[in-house]
Amino acid sequence: MLTINDILKSVKFNLTKERRQRILDAYEFSKKAHAGQMRKSGDEQIQHSLETALNIARVGMRSKTISAGILHDVPEDTPITLLEIEEKFGKEIATLVDGVTKLGKIKLRGSQEEYFLENIRKMFLAMAADVRVVIIKLADRLHNMRTLEYLPEEKRVRIAKETMEIFVPIADRLGIGEIKGDLEDLSFKFLDPENYQYVKNLEEKQYQKIEKYVNETIEELEIELKKESVKIIETKGRAKRLHSLYSKLKQHDMDINRIYDLAAVRIIVSSIADCYEALGIVHKKYHPLVGRIKDYISLPKPNGYQSIHTTVFGPEGKILEVQIRTKKMDDEAEFGIASHWIYSKQEKEGWKKYFLKNKKNHPEKEVAWIKQLREWQGELGKDDEEFIDGLKIDFLKNRIFAFTPKGDIINLPEGATPVDFAYMIHSEIGDRTMGAKADRRIVPLSYKIKNGQVIEILTSKEKKKPSQDWLKFVRTSNAKERIRRKIKQE
């Protein structure tokens, strides 16, 4: 049974007397409100509140968000009103609880399109208003998924599908790798139990074989790094997630021997300079596999993930992946946008001010794409179908990077074209687009850009209007809206 002390022990911030008392007060209030209520699993309702709060604490959120997590079901499941919560805990916590309550009321109704309309729109608008509401919802969903077996089969499949299609991409977009991985594996378990069990058995069998090998590699690398005076914060082994392993297996004819990153060694060091020095030491000790070095520090993933990945011939010549990153990068890889509360000094400043203070380390893109949701919905007006289609492409699809000839990075959804790229740079460039080059080769404007390509846009010197035909192949809502607006003006 979980206790409030488990939550207090899991926090990642300075637990002052005031913050501690806030969490304790929320617990006592929620416990009293939920007295006598039981879950389908047979647990008391307060256990769900505590599990949600524990998930929130583990990703680095602070006392107000944890308190809101403990209180999140009170207005929905008890006679206590939101006004009473506001009087007891203040407007900020009450607003968070209200946001989670509203998201909780969104249910699957009728058609798939209605489902996307009612669920995704409100989910993303809540994210735009205060991302903490969605983090609480993810924490709530994670515990619900862990107890999904107690629900009827039809409900299990529906909730698992909703989790895989909506909550997994949101956790990924927010960079919360820990919650994303757990939700993905739990959904996989209920959506495809046969393959889930097959992969689980396969991984357990293989991992037992290589656990000793991974530990041997860690010992050897620690010796080499210490010799060169590289400060190691932590070294650890990491097994591949089940759904991620299944996706890789499908790409390699279900042959596990063709997967090099079944397990990885992770080296956590104190600075970026140490990351690159450690990379040199790893390659000095073990030969790298050509073409398998990925530098996500100089070129982070679209969700902000940073690390160096290299695949090497380790002890006995066996192939193994090594990941190198700082402690801050490791926290951000596990906890994503939530990790920024760990590093911000003042709780009231919140995540936006943190980004603004740290522009060099954290470009404003993390804030910009959330802010864009509100502006973008306003531009699209009341066309629900277009809004949903845009969300599917712009926010729930995989992202790629492309470069301008000057080296600027443009973040795009998979399947984006040079016209999308042009409009991401500037609407004027988009309007004047005449042609495009990908890696110095002329390509059609409908060409699907590949990750890491250098794209050059060829423009008209004179003003021109975009072509109506572009609407047949552009992917981003930004490009569609700009093209339509320009054509309408003309």
pLDDT-based confidence at 389, cuts 50/70/90?
low
pTM of the model: 0.71
| Domains, the chain | 4-190 (1.10.3210.10), 193-336 (3.30.460.10), 397-489 (3.10.20.30)
Least confident piece of the model among 67-76, 283-292, 340-349: 340-349
pLDDT at residue 27, rounded to an integer: 97
pLDDT at residue 107 greater than cutoff 60: no
390 vs 11 pLDDT, higher one: 11
Confirm whether 76 is a catalytic residue.
Answer: yes
| Residue 337, Ramachandran bin (φ over 0: left; ψ between -120 and 50: alpha; else beta) | alpha
Q: Given the residues 77, 178, 295, 386, select the one marked as catalytic.
A: 77
Please tell me which residue, 346 or 337, carries the higher pLDDT value: 337
Residue 291, Cβ neighbours under 10 Å: how many? Answer: 7
How many Å is the Cα radius of gyration of the chain?
24
Residue 452: what pLDDT? Answer: 77
pLDDT of 116 higher than 50: yes
Q: Angle 17-33/45-58 helices, nearest 10 degrees?
A: 150
Rounded-to-10 torsion of CA 80, 86, 92, 93: -30
Mean pLDDT, to the nearest integer, of 87-100?
92
Q: What was the pLDDT predicted at 420?
A: 94
Whether the pLDDT of residue 340 is over 90: the answer is: no
Beta strands 263-269 and 319-326 are parallel
Residue 377 CA to residue 405 CA, distance in Å, equals 32
Mean pLDDT along residues 34-39: 94
Active-site residue identified among 28, 76, 113, 228: 76
Query: Does the pLDDT value for residue 47 go beyond 60?
Result: yes
**Is 182 annotated as catalytic?**
no
Give residue 462's pLDDT.
83
Residues making up the chain, counted from first to last: 490
Whether 111 has a pLDDT exceeding 50, the answer reads: no
